[in-house]
Structures are given as structure tokens and as C-alpha cells.
Structure 1
Amino acid sequence: MRCPQRRAVGAGLVAASLALALTGRATAHGGSLSADDSRALAVPLWLFLSTGGGVVGVSFLLTSFVTDRELLRAVRERRRDVVLPSGVRRWLAICARAIGLLGLAAVLVVGVVGPAAPLSNLAVLVVWVGWWAGFTMTTYLVGNAWPVFNPWRVALPLRERLPAPDWRLPERVGSWPAVAGLLAFIWLEVVSPLAGDPRLLAGVVGAYSALAVAGGFAFGEEWFERVDPISRVFASFGAVAPVYRDAGGSLGLRVPGTGLESPDLVRDASDVAFVVALLWVTTYDGLVATPPWRGFATAIVGAGVPAAVLYPVALLAGFGVFLAIYRVAVSRGRRDAESYRDPLELANRFAPSLLAIAAGYHVAHYLGYFIELSPALLGALSAPLAPPAPVAVVLPPWFSVVSLGFVLLGHLGAIWVAHAVAYDLFPSRMQAVRSQYALTAAMVFYTMTSLWIVSRPYAAPPFV
């Protein structure tokens, strides 16, 4: 084994060991709303150790030994068309749009006039359990159906029927508005009582709806492609999914994750930043709900730093660290491969592989949460204004193993995608392999960070 590879493996093992040293009992916690904040799902320490070390070994085996370009190309190009009659597709689209508009109306109305208790209010349960947890999981496990469900896209047919400004964003703006919007969305989710105050949630959704419809009317499709962070999140996750829509609008099936190998998915530095931001915000959302963060935040605020400053600074600083780690890894990989390719091109091509890690961590973070609170959601749907007493599912202790498994699967998927892209970019086998040393070490860092967060018991974020 060459020295750079030894160093990368060593870095991964150190990260795994550090995570284990800080763990003890592995647990899983939900996101913004929880039926039981005190639960702790135990995972044996040896299992955490073996899975953490095993994923590092398997990842490097993939990087080092899967060198058959024809096999990689065959996996990527394995596609099958999904044939639906045009009439069926049209009615499905109409039904999906109606569901989207009805869901938005329910959130706005029931959020204002419904029960005040969050676990009984349909608006809270639809937004956090049904949409942000459940629907988001379908975008990377099945396919991105958000364009047909998105109620704010009603602005596009209005734009065709009414006089509308023909505004265009300057090219230099790129996707930076979506990056800023995503960071702002997660910051607001963390620091405000959106999950516990249905009236506030309805107000925020109403304001966002007005902005999205106005933006779509003024800028057209460009608004949802470059500005709207929610549409960008679902589009990014949709590249992981097996069901996709081609340029002509036809549906097809592919091997999950192979959509991340497309050279057109990430086009510039702002798109790279959005991918890293998506990876980071899911991590941040979990981080601030752990006991170590509670201890850190208490100490910092006790030292005189305002809590209102701590949370956005931590959000931006963490994003900067994640982005810097990725850029350094790509630069080091270019140097290890002795390549003259443009560093920006390499950053663009390898960035989508991080979406597999983000998807793995999202499902690990939210699957148990979704299962726990689904009965409460169904009860609220049955009687929005007078729902029955909320019921929650009690997950078995072994379910935390499932959460850890999804984190590791996301990591393996990211390694495979980056490996396949490397063989597209570099003519030499050794160039392709060497280009992955630093990037794999960065992925191990991202994944072990996620594993450590998933392993901590839930603790409500302090000072919010």
C-alpha cells in the first residue's frame, strides 16, 4: 500500500476511534419535533466499532480494486424507460398539483384555527413529519416529484396568462441565493419555535408562499432553479433516486446514485457550495440537538457571547469548514493524480458524490422520527380541527442500527460515485485511484461526524 493511501486509511481509522471514544451508547434522535425527547436506543459498542472500521476498509477496497471502466460505464448506462400513457401522466400531474395546493391551504388554515398543541395540529405534522421528513425521503429513495406537487409553481401558468416582467438574474449570481436561502431556512428552523407554534408556522409558510409565487411570476423557471432553496434541495436529492426524468420529460429507471455522475449536475462554484451546504445543514440540525452542543453553548453564552450570535456564527463557521475541507481534498487529489485539469472542473464533477452522504444522513436522522409520529399525522388528517389524542410508535432498541446503516450506505454510495467519475476524468488507472485518497479521507470525516451525531441522545437546543 502506498504512503498516501496509508495516511488516508489512518485518518479514517483515527476518526472512527475518536467517534467511538466519545460515544459509549449509540442512539438516534429525531429532528424538529419529537414525541419523546428522553428515549435512548442502545447499540453495542462493538457493532459501532466494526461498522465504522468496516466502511473505511470497504470504501478503500472499492477505490483500489474496482478498475474495470466497462463495468463502471455499464452500471451508469443501465437505464429502462417507464412508459405511461399521456392521459395518465396528465391526470397524475393534475392530482399532484391539487394535493400540493390543498396541503398548503390546510397548513395555512389549520395552523391558525386548529389546536395549539403541536402534536395535535395538522399544520405542524404535515410540514415536519409528512413533508420535510417523509416526502423528502421519497425524493432520494424513489424520485423527485416536487415539481408536480409544488403549489408555488402556480406562478408559472399565471405568468403565461398575465402580463409579467421578463426579469433575469445576472449570470454571476449563480446559485448563491439558494445557498443563502438554505442556510437561513435551517437557522430559522433551529432558533425559532416553528415546530411548537402552529400560528407562527402558518405565518412563515404564508410569507414564504407569497415570496415564492412573486418570484416565480417575475423570474419564471429560473426562480425555482437558482433561487428557491426548497426546489434545489429536492432536485439535488432527486439525482440520487432510481426514477428520473430526462430532457424530453420522459420517465426512466436507473441504478440508484448513478445520476450523480452527470457532468451537468453541478456547473459552477455556487452549485458546489449548495451541495456542501446541503450536507452541512443536515449535520448542523442534528448537532445542535446533542448534549455536547448543549454543554458547549452553555459555556459560550456563560462567557458573554449572546445566544442570538452563537447559532448563526456556528452555522456559517461549520459551513465554511465543510466547504474548505472539500476544496482542500479536491486540490490535494489533483496534486496526487499529477493532473493538469482545471481545479474548478474537478470540484464540480466530484461534488455530487457528497449528495449520497447527505441522503444517507437525512434518512438516518428522520426515518425513526417519521415512523414515530406517523400515527399522530394520520389522526390529524382524519379530523383536522378536532383530532384524536396523538399516538406515537415506540421503536425497538435495534432500530438505531438501521440509522447507522443508512449513514454507512450513503458513504459507500459516495465513494462509488466519486470512483466512477474519476475514471471518466483520468485516462490512467493510477491517476484515478490517487485522485481519491484525499477525497475519501474527507468523506470519512463527514461520515464519522454524522455517525457521532446520530450516536448521541437527543437534547433540546438551549437558548432558543
Structure 2
Amino acid sequence: MIRSLVPLHGVGSRQDLPLPFELVVAGAAVTLAVTFVALLWAWRSPRWAEPGGRALPRLTRLVDHPALLWTGRVLVAGLLAIALLALVAGPDLITNPFPGFLFVWVWIGLVPVSLLFGQVWRRLSPVRSLLAWRGAHREDAARPDVAGLYPAAAALLGFTWLELVQPDRATTAVLKWWVLAFAVWAIGGALLRGGRWITSADPFEAYATTVARLSPWQRRDGVLQVTNPLRHLSSTEAPRGLWAVCCVLLGGTAFDSLSGGVWWVRATQSSEQPAWLWGSLGLLGCLAVVVATYLVGALVIDRASGSRETERDLNSLGRSLVPIVVGYALAHYATLLVIEGQRVAINLSDPLGRGQNWFGTAELGVNGAIYDYASAVAWAQVGFIVGGHVLGVACAHDIALRTLPAERRTWAQLPLLLVMVGYTCAGLLLLFA
């Protein structure tokens, strides 16, 4: 039996992108440095400290209508039910749609969906729909409990280990156990602790809500508003543990690129130690580097501001990591979503592997036209990474201005700038690895 999922990478091998590597890295570093200098000279007071936007009460009434909400919830739950049916009763073959549904439609698809539509996953989440009788859809359940988002960060690390390290991760035998573990973690925890546990511990909702902070849709007093995405990101309250969630996401993406490099594959295959051990060490190493460098940059600002609430400042500045998370995700996985997302739609028509055609898509083919635009894809990947870091620098600068004394604003922000330049260069290096 064929038991492997397609590699989780985009179109074009990373070592063959048709771009001059040295110029791209130098240009990215200069772009960030010029952006930062321009901010210091032209941006001397916070601009996004307060929320603001155009209220849309009619649109709010439409999207909040119970008929529309429950129609969306039933559709999402129905797709999940078909995918779970394939996991439980379908063949353990590459044509089984569940691995693609999980790793492509859900994991990667959450990014563009959340960017375009805001907090839509929280409102349509099958976990919340299942636990609606426990108050999972109440407004107060949207706030994390006392643990903040740290449980979600731990769950995200576990999912990243499954995605990138777990042996035979695309087999139904392995995925069944992970789905059971998720049910115990998210649903069982919510039954014991209430709906707020979902906000604190569901890794997919934590990912989606983190990305949605950069969407143009924001709610104030229950009314939907359209606003500047950076204002939305910078003005909303940062929950406890947000910085940890972002660091796990960045560390996972970094290791995904690292583990796809030829030198890594050769080193691990020639080693006497099992690949999962090297993968675990590599993943934890990437996460440690991201965490350590972020703490260095953020703690300098925290100390310079004289704040005595270090964790609050770490989470507040953690909002500046969100554009970087989004940029990395789009650069590394957008093409995978385009290509393999089509394959999932095809395979979902025959979830049991019996030659059926439930939705009329089973006989369609994958449109690979994007392969004809390798240069455009490569430049888009670089643009997502550099653009994400530029937006991150702007967000960090605006947040830092709220607490730093005037005489410390320049030197106190330099370490975080260097960290972000380092992230940019490392991201591009791994993209080309």
C-alpha cells in the first residue's frame, strides 16, 4: 500500500527558485532597515493604539442570523463527518481524503479564510457546534480561561510534531489515535472546564483567531466593523500566551523548510539514530531559537519601558509576530493549498474507496497551471516573507511607542529590529534550502 502524503511544500523546489539569492537577502535586510529608520523619523507617536473603523450594522445582522450561522455550521460539520468516515472506514491509501483534509484544507486553509473573513472559524467550529449545549457559542466563551493560550501552544507543538516528525503520519492507523487524542483534549476538556477551554486549548481555533487579528473585520460591542488590518492587530487586547502561539508557529514553519533541505535528509538517513529522534531535536531546536531571539528583543523593550508586567509586554509585542506568521505560512504553503486542495476535493467524492462519485468531482483532474509561473511564484514567496516582516516592524514600533520614554525609543527597539532582520534572512535562506 502507498502510505505517504505529498511533501508539505509549495510549487518549485526551494533550491531552484529562479531568483538571485544574495540580492534577495540583502534587499530584504535593507528594506527592513529603511522601514525602521523611516518609522523612527516620521512616526513619533502611536497611531493604532485605539480601535476604529466603519460600523456595519446591517452586515452584522446578516452574518449573525441564526439560519445563516447554523447552515454554515452544518456544512462544516458535514464535511468533517465525511472526512472522519474516510478515516475510519476508508482504505489506507494515498487516495484517502482525510490526511489532505486535515493537513491541507484545515491546517493551511485556515490562513486565507481567517485573513479574508476574520473570526469565522470560531463561529463555525465543529467543536463549538458539538458543545453548543455547554455554552460554547456564548460571548464569554470567546475569552481564554486562566491558562491563557499556553495549552493551545502546547497542542500546536504536538500537531506540528505529527505533521513533520511522526513516522507514517499519513496512515489511517496513526491518524486515528491523534484524532482520539484531540477529542479527549478539546472536547473532554471543554466538558470539564466549560466553553472557554476551547479558546485556550483548541490548536486550530488558536491558529485561526491569531491570523484573524490581521483581517479587516473587527467587532466592537457586538457590531462588525471594517478597519485597517494593522489597527485591528495593534489595538485589540493580546491574550495571555499569544507570544508562545506565534513562536510555535514560526518554529514549526522554520523546521519544515529545514527538514526539506538535501543536507538534512542526507544527514538523518545516514545516521544510526532513528529519523523521528532527529526530527524531534530539530523541531525543538528551531523553536528554541525563535523563542530565545524573540525574548531578547522583547525583553529589552520591556526593561527600557520600566514596566513591571513582563508577561503582559511579551504578549503585547507578540502581536507584531502575527504578520510574520502569516507571511511565512503563505510563502511556504499557498501553492500546496492550490494544488493539493484540488486533490482533496476529488478524493472526498469517494471517501470509502469504492469507485463512488458523491459530489461529481471524482473524475476531475488537478489543474497544475500554476507550475507554468515559477518565477511569479518565487517572487510572491519572497514578497510574503519580506512584507510580513515589514508589517511586523511597523506593528512592533507602534506598540513600543506606547510605553518607551522618548530618550530610549531608538536604542531599545534596535534588538527587536535585528531579530526581525534575522528572521527575514533565515526565512529566505530556508526557502532556498
TM above 0.5, yes or no, is: yes
**Counterpart of 1:95?**
71
1:401 and 2:379 matched: yes
Trace 1:97-136 onto structure 2 (pairs within 5 A).
97-114=73-90, 116-118=92-94, 120-136=95-111
Structure-1 residue corresponding to 2:257: 286
> In the alignment, which of 338, 341, 348 is matched to residue 307 of structure 2?
341
Amino acid at match of 1:340: G
Q: Take 1:349 and 1:36, find their aligned partners in 2: how far apart are those partners?
A: 37
Distance across 2 between alignment mates of 1:78 and 1:323: 32
Q: Secondary structure of the equivalent of 2:198? A: helix
Q: Partners in 2 of 1:92 and 1:160 — Cα distance?
A: 19
Confirm whether residue 431 of structure 1 aligns to residue 408 of structure 2: yes
Q: Comparing 91-100 with 383-392, which one deviates more in the overlay?
A: 383-392
Is the 1:43–1:397 contact (alpha carbons within 8 Å) kept by the matching residues of 2? no
> For the residues of structure 2 that align with 1:368 and 1:239, how far apart are their CA atoms?
23
Residue identity matched to 1:325: T
For residue 160 of structure 1, report the CA deviation from its aligned partner.
5.5
User: Of the candidates 307, 323, 329, which is equivalent to residue 291 of structure 2?
Assistant: 323
Which residue of structure 2 aligns with residue 212 of structure 1?
Answer: 186
Deviations along 1:420-463, one digit per CA (max 9) or x if unpaired, are: 112222352x433332101111111122211111122xxxxxxx
CA separation of 1:113/1:368 partners in 2, compared to 1, >3 Å: closer, same or farther?
Answer: same
- Are 1:277 and 2:248 an aligned pair? yes
Question: In structure 2, what is the equivalent of residue 415 of structure 1?
Answer: 393
Alignment of 1:182-261 (within 5 A): 182-192=156-166, 196-198=170-172, 200-246=174-220, 248-261=221-234
Task: List alignment gaps of at least 5 residues for structure 2.
Answer: 1-5, 137-143, 356-361
Deviation at 1:151, TM superposition (A): 0.6
Aligned partner (choices 310, 333, 344) of residue 278 of structure 2? 310
Q: Partner of 1:245: helix, strand, or coil?
A: strand
Give the Cα separation in 2 of the matches to 1:38 and 1:277. Answer: 22
Query: In structure 1, what is the Cα distance between the partners aligned to 2:180 and 2:145?
Result: 28
Runs of 4+ in 1 over 6 A off after TM superposition: 33-39
CA deviations over 1:82-118 (Å, ceiling 9, x no partner): 3326365222211221122112111111234445442
In structure 1, the residue matched to 2:339 is 372
Q: How far 1:354 moved relative to its partner?
A: 0.9
SS class of match (1:391): coil
Task: Check the 8 A contact 1:194/1:201 in 2, yes or no.
Answer: no
Q: Secondary structure at the match of 2:374?
A: coil
Partners of 1:333 and 1:434 within 8 A in 2: no
Instruction: Give the one of 41, 48, 51 matched to 2:27.
Output: 51
Counterpart of 1:149?
Answer: 124
- Structure 1 residue 208: deviation in Å? 1.9
Shift of residue 260 of structure 1? 2.6
Q: Which amino acid aligns with 1:56?
A: L
TM-aligned CA distance change 1:136 to 1:315, over 3 Å: same
1:138 to 110, 113, 126: 113
The number of equivalent residue pairs is 407
- Quickly say closer, same or farther: Cα 1:31–1:350, change in 2 above 3 A: farther
Distance 2:14 2:311 in 1: 45
Structure 1 stretch displaced more, 89-98 or 100-109: 89-98
* 1:383 Cα offset (Å): 4.8
- Structure 1 position 403, deviation (Å): 0.7
User: Does the 8 Å CA contact 1:422/1:433 hold for their aligned counterparts?
Assistant: no
Encode CA deviations 1:58-83: one digit per residue, 9 max, x unaligned.
Answer: 3323332232437x249x64411233
- Structure 1 residue 353 displacement after superposition: 0.3
Letter in 2 for 1:374: G
CA contact (8 A) 1:81 1:251 kept: yes
Select between 56-65 and 94-103 the one with higher mean Cα deviation: 56-65
Could you tell me how far apart the structure 1 residues matched to 2:97 and 2:189 are? 27
Q: 1:216 to 1:340 in 2, by over 3 A?
A: same
Question: Which segment drifts farther, 284-293 or 178-187?
Answer: 284-293
1:264 maps to: 237
Residue 429 of structure 2 corresponds to 452
Normalised by the size of structure 1, how large is the TM-score? 0.78
Q: Is the 8 A contact 1:215 1:223 kept in 2?
A: yes
The one-letter code of the counterpart of 2:403 is L
1:244–1:253: 8 Å Cα contact kept in structure 2? yes
Post-superposition CA distance 1:134-169 (Å, at most 9, x none): 2332213441311122111134323269xxxxxxx9
